[in-house]
């Protein structure tokens, strides 16, 4: 069951709702918090960090690592982007500017020129390639069309969705998903889980197309803001989340990220 999020800038919008999924009935400390986000009321925006993805030819002024000042009054939340460049060389484009080339076998969170959003293996986006305004790539899609990647059943040997230093795979993970209509976005943040557990939780919440975002304790976060000037963090979605006061707002972020803003 989803309950409306009435904290900070999300209050009164009816745009965000939250639930908790326990994908492993035999392990109650494993969980995924899932947010359902109404894309008719809220817009998702990708941003490159000052350092990631690695793109030596992109001018520094094109990657400030901050939520644009013009969007701060409408800001609802910020959350982490994808893997470091050295962990997969996944592609990214922001408003037509390429930071890293696309990998055809990778999953893409894709932004089309009509404002719609797609999550799919990049080669499946070939028919709309000319319309891709922005995209951020991830490891293989956890799910496409409601069908989980068969390799998730052998995640320990396939090793496609990342692990902690030392090889541990039961870690904190994040994901983005879309429902069948493309109007509801899902963000999932889970602790003590494998990628297949995250995929199952996102599917249970209603997502049919799912991409895994960043993983591990230090790199995963969802920050909900208030409507102050400048905005302040009022919620971290789950406990024990690392973030820097002023980060994304006044202190540039070295890593890429996404943010949510209210639509007019």
Q: What are the pLDDT digits (tens) for 4-32?
A: 999 999 999 999 999 999 887 777 778 99
Helix (H) or strand (E) holding 234: strand 233-235
pLDDT band at 180 (very low <50, low <70, confident <90, very high): very high
Give the confidence band of 194 by pLDDT, cuts at 50, 70, 90.
Answer: very high
Lowest mean pLDDT among 21-25, 49-53, 86-90, 156-160: 21-25
pLDDT at residue 25, rounded to an integer:
76
Rounded Cα distance between 83 and 88, Å, is 7
| DSSP characters over 103-166 | PTTSEEEEEETTS-EEEEEGGGGGGGGGGEEEEEEESS-SEETTEE-GGGGGHHHH--S---TT
pLDDT tens digits for range 43-72: 999 999 999 999 999 999 999 999 999 999
Per-residue confidence (pLDDT) for residue 26, from 0 to 100: 73
- What percent of the chain is predicted at pLDDT more than 70? 100
For position 27, what pLDDT does the model report? 75
110, 102 contact by CB (below 8 A): no
If you average pLDDT over every residue of the chain, what do you get?
96
């Amino acid at each position: 069951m989803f309950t409306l999020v009435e904290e900070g800038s999300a209050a009164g919008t009816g745009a965000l709702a939250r639930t908790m999924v326990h994908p492993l009935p035999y392990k109650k400390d494993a969980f995924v918090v899932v947010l359902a986000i109404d894309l008719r009321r809220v817009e998702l925006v990708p941003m490159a960090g000052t350092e990631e993805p690695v793109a030596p030819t992109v001018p520094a002024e094109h990657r400030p690592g901050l939520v644009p000042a013009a969007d701060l009054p409408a800001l609802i939340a910020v959350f982490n982007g994808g893997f470091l460049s050295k962990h997969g060389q996944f592609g990214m484009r922001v408003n037509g500017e390429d930071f890293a080339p696309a990998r055809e076998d990778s999953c893409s969170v894709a932004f089309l020129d009509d404002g719609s959003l797609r999550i799919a293996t990049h080669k499946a986006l070939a028919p709309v390639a000319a319309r891709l305004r922005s995209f951020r790539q991830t490891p293989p899609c956890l799910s496409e069309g409601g069908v989980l990647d068969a390799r998730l059943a052998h995640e320990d040997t396939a090793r496609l969705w990342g692990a902690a230093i030392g090889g541990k795979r039961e870690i904190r993970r994040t994901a983005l998903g879309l429902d069948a209509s493309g109007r509801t976005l899902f963000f999932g943040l889970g602790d003590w889980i494998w990628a297949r557990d995250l995929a199952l939780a996102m599917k249970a919440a209603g997502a049919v197309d799912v991409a895994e975002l960043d993983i591990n304790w230090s790199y995963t976060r969802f920050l909900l803001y208030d409507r102050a000037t400048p905005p302040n963090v009022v919620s971290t979605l789950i406990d024990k989340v690392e973030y820097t006061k002023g980060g994304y707002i006044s202190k540039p972020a070295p890593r890429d990220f996404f943010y949510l803003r209210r639509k007019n």
